[in-house]
C-alpha cells in the first residue's frame, strides 16, 4: 500500500533511512509490513520486560502473516527494522531521547540512539512505504490544555504532535484509543477538525486504553478487520492526505474496570498537579503513578493491548496487500479482534510485573 507524504520531505527522509533487508524485501514485493514504535523499549517498561514485550509484538505481527519493522534512530540514521542486538542495545543504553516530529532533526543530528514516538514512527513508515503502524495508545489533548472555563489557570496548550501527524501523514494507526489520562472528548474533537477518521473496531464505544469502554461513543465503527481494511483502502484512495486511527479494545481478560480506571486517573492527575509536574514530564509521570495506584494492573493491561494491537495491525496489513499476496498469506491470519492475548510470552511478562 502506498503512503502519501510531501515529495520533498519523502526525498529528504529516504536519504536517512536504513531499512533492514527482510523489511526491504517485503516492501519491494508488496507484502504486508507493520511499523512498530520504540519508545516502549527505551521508556515504557524496564529491561528486560521492555525487550520481551517488543519481541511479543513482533511475533504477533509475524503470526498474522506480516513482517514487523520496529523503528528507532541511531548514528544519524532512521532504522526501519531492528535486530535482536539492536533491541537490547536500545533498551539498555542510558539517556536515550524520544524523537517526535519537533525533535526528529535533533535526534538525527545528535548521532546517538533515539526512540521514535507515534509521530516519528509515522513519518518513517510513510517514507519507507509502510502503510500500517501499531502502537499502544496515542497522545492527545491533555487536561487543561485549552483552559478550564471559570478558572484562572492558564491554558497549557499541551497537545501531542501525534494528532497533527495523523492529520498530515497517510498511515493507518492501530491503537487502544487515546491514553486514558488525556481529555479524550477534546482529543476526538481535534482529530475531527483535522480530518482524521477515528474508528472503533468491534464496538460502538471508544476503547479507553486500559479499559474496553471509555463511555464515549465512537465517531465511527467497523465490525472486524475486513471492514477496517475496506475503510482504510477507501480513505487512502481518496487522496486526502490524512491518516486513519483504528481503536481496538484491550482484551477483555486483561482490561481494567472502567470505574476503577477513572478513579485512578483522577487521583494520579491530582497528585501530578500537587507535585507541580508539567510539560513533557507529565505523561511518563502519570503512567508511572497509575502503575503504583493500580498495583501493576495498568501495566499488565498495557502489555496485553500492545501485543493485541500488533496482531490486529498484522491482519490489517495482510488484508490491504495486493490480492495475489493476500491469498498466499490468508491461512496464517488469526481472529480479527482477540478477546485475550494470553500466550506463554505475555504470561511470563505479567509474572515479572507481578
pLDDT tens digit string along 39-66?
999 998 889 999 999 999 999 999 999 9
Rg over CA atoms, the chain = 19
The whole-model pTM stands at: 0.89
CB 66 within 8 A of CB 225: no
Q: Which three three-digit cell numbers place residue 154? A: 492558564
pLDDT tens digit string along 162-211?
999 999 999 999 999 999 889 999 999 999 999 999 999 999 999 999 99
Q: Residue 61: its pLDDT value, please?
A: 98
Q: Residue 345: its pLDDT value, please?
A: 54
Q: Residue 237: its pLDDT value, please?
A: 96
Q: Residue 333: its pLDDT value, please?
A: 41
Per-residue buried b or exposed e for 264-303, using 16+ beta carbons within 10 Å of the residue's own CB: bbeebbeebeeeebeeeebbebbbebbbebbeebbbbbbb
Percentage of the chain modeled with pLDDT above 70 = 86
Residue 343 has pLDDT above 60, yes or no: no
Residue bearing cell 471492514: 227
- Most confident region among 25-39, 144-158, 257-271, 319-333 by mean pLDDT: 25-39
Question: The domain 7-335 belongs to what CATH superfamily?
Answer: Indigoidine synthase domain (3.40.1790.10)
pLDDT tens digit string along 93-110?
999 999 999 999 999 999
Q: What average pLDDT does the structure give for the chain?
A: 89
- Alpha carbon of residue 45 to chain centroid: 15
pLDDT tens digit string along 229-273?
999 999 999 999 999 999 999 999 999 999 999 999 999 989 998
pLDDT band at 331 (very low <50, low <70, confident <90, very high): very low
Q: Residue 334: its pLDDT value, please?
A: 39
Q: Residue 158: its pLDDT value, please?
A: 84
Q: Residue 346: its pLDDT value, please?
A: 57
Q: Residue 282: its pLDDT value, please?
A: 83
pLDDT band at 329 (very low <50, low <70, confident <90, very high): very low
Q: Residue 332: its pLDDT value, please?
A: 42
Residue 284 has pLDDT above 90, yes or no: no
Question: Which residues are catalytic, by number?
Answer: 37, 179
Beta strands 33-36 and 67-74, pairing class: parallel
Angstrom CA distances, 15 to 8, 18, 108, 170, 227, stand at 11, 9, 12, 20, 36
pLDDT band at 156 (very low <50, low <70, confident <90, very high): confident
Closest by CA to 258, choosing from 184, 173, 150, 166, is 184
> What is d(CA 276, CA 274) in angstroms, rounded to the nearest whole number?
6
pLDDT band at 349 (very low <50, low <70, confident <90, very high): low
Domain edges within the chain? 7-335
Percentage of the chain modeled with pLDDT above 90 = 75
Tell me how crowded residue 14 is: count the other CB atoms within 10 A of its CB.
Answer: 14
Amino acid at each position: 500500500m502506498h503512503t502519501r507524504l510531501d515529495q520533498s520531505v519523502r526525498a529528504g527522509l529516504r536519504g536517512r533511512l536504513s531499512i533492514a533487508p527482510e523489511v526491504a524485501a517485503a516492501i519491494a514485493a508488496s507484502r504486508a509490513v507493520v511499523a512498530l514504535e520504540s519508545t516502549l523499549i527505551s521508556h515504557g517498561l524496564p529491561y528486560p520486560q521492555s525487550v520481551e514485550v517488543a519481541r511479543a509484538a513482533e511475533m504477533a505481527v509475524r503470526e498474522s502473516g506480516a513482517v514487523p519493522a520496529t523503528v528507532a534512530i541511531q548514528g544519524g540514521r532512521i532504522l526501519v527494522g531492528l535486530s535482536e542486538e539492536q533491541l537490547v542495545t536500545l533498551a539498555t543504553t542510558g539517556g536515550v531521547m524520544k524523537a517526535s516530529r519537533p525533535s526528529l532533526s535533533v535526534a538525527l543530528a545528535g548521532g546517538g540512539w533515539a526512540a521514535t514516538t507515534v509521530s516519528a514512527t509515522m513519518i518513517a513508515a510513510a517514507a519507507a512505504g509502510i502503510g500500517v503502524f501499531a502502537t499502544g495508545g496515542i497522545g492527545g489533548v491533555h487536561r487543561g490544555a485549552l483552559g478550564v472555563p471559570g478558572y484562572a489557570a492558564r491554558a497549557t496548550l499541551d497537545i501531542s504532535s501525534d494528532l497533527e501527524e495523523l492529520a498530515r501523514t497517510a498511515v493507518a494507526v492501530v491503537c487502544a484509543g487515546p491514553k486514558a489520562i488525556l481529555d479524550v472528548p477534546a482529543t476526538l474533537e481535534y482529530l475531527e477538525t483535522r480530518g482524521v477518521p477515528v474508528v472503533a473496531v468491534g464496538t460502538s464505544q471508544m476503547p479507553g486504553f486500559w479499559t474496553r469502554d471509555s463511555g464515549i461513543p465512537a465517531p465511527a465503527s467497523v465490525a472486524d478487520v475486513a471492514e477496517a481494511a475496506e475503510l482504510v483502502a477507501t480513505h487512502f484512495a481518496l487522496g486526502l492526505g490524512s491518516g486513519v486511527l483504528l481503536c481496538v479494545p484491550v482484551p477483555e481478560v486483561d482490561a481494567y474496570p472502567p470505574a476503577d480506571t477513572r478513579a485512578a486517573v483522577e487521583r494520579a492527575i491530582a497528585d501530578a498537579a500537587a507535585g507541580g509536574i508539567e510539560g513533557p514530564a507529565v505523561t511518563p509521570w502519570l503512567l508511572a503513578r497509575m502503575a503504583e495506584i493500580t498495583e501493576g494492573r495498568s501495566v499488565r493491561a498495557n502489555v496485553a493491548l500492545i501485543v493485541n494491537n500488533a496482531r490486529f495491525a498484522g491482519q490489517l496489513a495482510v488484508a490491504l496487500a495486493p490480492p495475489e499476496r493476500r491469498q498466499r498469506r490468508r491461512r496464517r491470519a488469526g481472529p480479527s479482534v482477540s478477546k485475550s492475548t494470553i500466550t506463554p510470552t505475555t504470561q511470563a511478562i505479567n509474572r515479572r510485573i507481578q
